[in-house]
Amino acid sequence: MKHIIFQQTLLIYIMSMIVTASMANPLLSKYKTPYETIPFNSIETNHYFPAFEEAMKIHRAEVDKIIQNKQKPTFENTIVALEQAGTLLNQVSSPFYNLLSAETNDELQQIAEKISPLMSEHSNAIRLNEQLFARVKAVYEMRGQLKLNTEEARLLQKTYDGFADNGANLSETDKAVYRELSKELSMLTLQFGQNVLKETNNWSLLITDIGLLKGLPEDVLDMLALNAKNAGKEGWILNLKATTYIPFMKYAENRDLRRELYLAYNTRCMNGGEFDNREIIKKIVNTRIKIANLLGHKSYADQVLVHRMAENKENVYKLLDELLKAYYPYAVKEVEEVQTYANNKGAYFKIQPWDWSYYSDKLKDEKYAVNDELLKPYFELENVKKGVFGLATKLYGIQFIKNDKIQKYHPEVDVYEVKDKNGKFLSVLYADFHPRDGKRPGAWMSEFKSQWKEKGKDSRPHIIIVMNFTRPTGTKPALLAYEELTTFLHEFGHALHGMLTECTYESLSGTNVYQDFVELPSQILENWASKKEFLDEFAVHYETGEKIPVELINKIKASENFNAAYFCLRQLSFGYLDMAWHTLESPFEGDVTTMEKFAMEKTQLLPYVSNTAMSPAFSHIFSGGYAAGYYSYKWAEVLDADAFSVFTEKGIFDQPTATSFFENILKRGGTEHPMVLYKRFRGQEPTIEALLKRSGVETR
């Protein structure tokens, strides 16, 4: 009886805290919006910090309730209860961290610096709690007698691992060390990412002589002029954002300016100023080694790869080495071909990295008579949206209905209701397409809310995709490069994984899968980009309405493998670099650029440029969650080539194949081991043969 009274008192206390706090802070309220979407119009920056504090307090009370439960630990009262705790904290943290990447400012970054150590300590207080772990461990040790279904067993294993992998089995002394190390690591990775954004935004170059910009297409010139206009200047402003950097390196005839831009881009965060990341890299790497050692692993890679399809560093290197051996001879020939072409065009010098895009693009244009300037008019953004969304409709029957009543964090964002073929609500999708100073570079998918089932209710997800696509100019709408089309498909593939999930537990739903499996749904969708049946659905000239000519599609397909080996080695170089940093078994005190040069040496095809490095701005592995995991892009490429071979055989819109991919991959999340899911779809384990065939390696 006393136990029941205590539980009721604690529950009343928790509810009173929620009610009191939510009266003044919308982040702590139950959202009375369409589909309980985030009420961005009501949220002010100063709401976040107190909301974090309150949500952490409530989360601690929820956890205390589990610990103080006098009943014997069971799957329901411990594992499920723990899974369901922290909902309010997720509600607060999801908009904050998404905005920190997509629409940040100095104030948000200052809050992040205050919140990061608090969140780290909060997580540690739960993961390192002996009483809580004792209950989890008790359930785990009797797992053989519990008669759990597959998803329940997976949740139990993931919950136990979540404690064991984060120090729960350590001594009290080592737990104290772990707390400090993890707190330090969270601050270091946060600072690394902020430095990259600031350094990227801080560089610009005003050009007042248009003659220096010879070779640039009209729409690129318009964009650079708009940059200048927005800065209150006359002329054209170059910056290091991808929408400027990539086309400039590809089209600008002025070699000196290409070199200047290349050096600026590839020396980011290594110039000795306040945003220099070289010492931070050492601290991140060494802190990760200390954490790995504390948990009984020789290196950080050994720690991470336990929960990956690759399983260990030997298998990662096996994959990288196999691909290097297969592609290297072809890559050497590709570089020689570009060098010869440049020489024949009067460039009597050895091709440098700032020359590569320029001359390789010219060679591609000459060989295949296809380039972005020919293609862009057929890839107007509004039409591309229809095409990409339409692909999901053809494959999975889902519909996208734009809803301007759903609040958004920036006026440029599009918001859609996503429904199945019967009109049943599946998800909310936020799409953010263009670069801004407050948005980090690159493209990504994330979520404002996950999916889970509770008490018969399927709580559906709210998904966000963020890109940095070419903006409209004063004279033209947003016209995408072919690479931007494939990027859209890639991130939309992640979105489908997040939107179509049908799982019971939030931590297993959607993209909560092994990192070297998560790229399969995204990369497989890129395969549709060059298919005529797909392009015929939407690719029309933005001025004339003419459908993209079949001759142009054939040229796209013919050019698909142009320099494929070179680009493969480039990706492999990033994977080798990542593994070099994270297979270290002793503290690193050397020179960052020397380390990088050694790690990437075997993949180096162009001359090494001294005093440049990518590590100081390699956000993927030092602030983006891909540490000891960058290889997963190539791993997933093997999977996607193998998986798409089924569509190639059956038809790219084949319904049984699409249904099988949905049933066995997209909706299952992390409820089973990914190889089990993959084999259920494919009927066998993947090999690299399909990837080699797609790249043309075995036929060249």
Catalytic residues: 491
| Residue 147 structure tokens | 């008669």
Residues 156, 160, 162, 163, Cα dihedral to 10°: 150
| Residue 101 structure tokens | 């990447």
Alpha helices in 85-171, H assignment, sequence order:
87-102, 106-127, 130-141, 150-164
| Residue 632 structure tokens | 């997963």
Give the residue among 329, 249, 315 at the shortest CA–CA distance from 568.
329
Confirm if 262 and 354 have CB atoms less than 8 A apart: yes
Q: What is the DSSP letter of 425?
A: E
Helix (H), strand (E) counts: the chain: 29, 9
Confirm if 530 and 560 have CB atoms less than 8 A apart: yes
Confirm if 559 and 551 have CB atoms less than 8 A apart: no
Q: What is the DSSP letter of 614?
A: S
Q: 457 - beta bridge partners? A: 454
Give me the count of residues in the chain.
700
DSSP string across 545-613: -PBPPHHHHHHHHHHTTTTHHHHHHHHHHHHHHHHHHHS--S---S-HHHHHHHHHGGG--S---TT--
Supply φ then ψ for residue 98, to 5 degrees. -65, -45
For the chain, what is the largest distance between any 2 Cα atoms, rounded to a whole number of angstroms? 92
